[in-house]
Amino acid sequence: MIQLKTMLQCIDNSGAALVECVQVLKMKRHAKIGDRIVVVVQKQRNLGSELSGVAAASTKVRRGDIRHAIVVRTKKKYGRPDGSYIRFDDNACVLINKAGEPLGTRLNGVVGEELRKAKWSKILSLAPMHV
């Protein structure tokens, strides 16, 4: 469950590495997989030894930016309707714009199958695997 002040890994290539949850939308106290949250970028991803002009142009977010995100993995175990439980090693999210489209073009990790029920098929199609 994700709540206020929870730190999450950002698994897309938007330029953010670590984000902090500042609000859970839809009048909920905790967010689960597939829920929309508001985050603040705490740490930018290091893009390597590319030219500084090219690296600055390719990053979409910077430290301190406030963005919307979708939770794709949680450490808290989650019960599925078939009776099984799923739990991940970390909390992770994907940054989106106001229209609900992902900011990044690639995802670096698995995502939860609950995104299908929450109508986030674009994120599922970008992910290399969903569990």
For the chain, the residue count is: 131
- Residue 5: exposure state from Cβ atoms within 10 A (0-12, 13-18, ≥19): exposed
Neighbours of 122 (CB within 10 A): 15
In a domain, 16, yes or no: yes
In a domain, 131, yes or no: no
- The per-residue pLDDT for 60 is 83
In a domain, 78, yes or no: yes
What is the distance between the alpha carbons of residues 128 and 65, in angstroms, rounded to a whole number? 27
- The per-residue pLDDT for 58 is 56
Per-residue pLDDT of the chain (131 residues; tens, 9 = 90+): 899 999 999 999 999 999 999 999 998 899 999 999 999 999 998 866 454 555 554 568 999 999 999 999 999 999 999 999 999 999 999 999 999 999 999 999 999 999 999 999 999 999 999 99
Domain of residue 13 covers: 7-126
The total number of structural domains that make up the chain: 1
Neighbours of 1 (CB within 10 A): 16
In a domain, 12, yes or no: yes
- The per-residue pLDDT for 52 is 52
In a domain, 35, yes or no: yes
In a domain, 92, yes or no: yes
In a domain, 1, yes or no: no
CATH of the domain at 14: 2.40.150.20
- The per-residue pLDDT for 46 is 82
In a domain, 79, yes or no: yes
Pairing label, strands 78-79, 7-10: unpaired
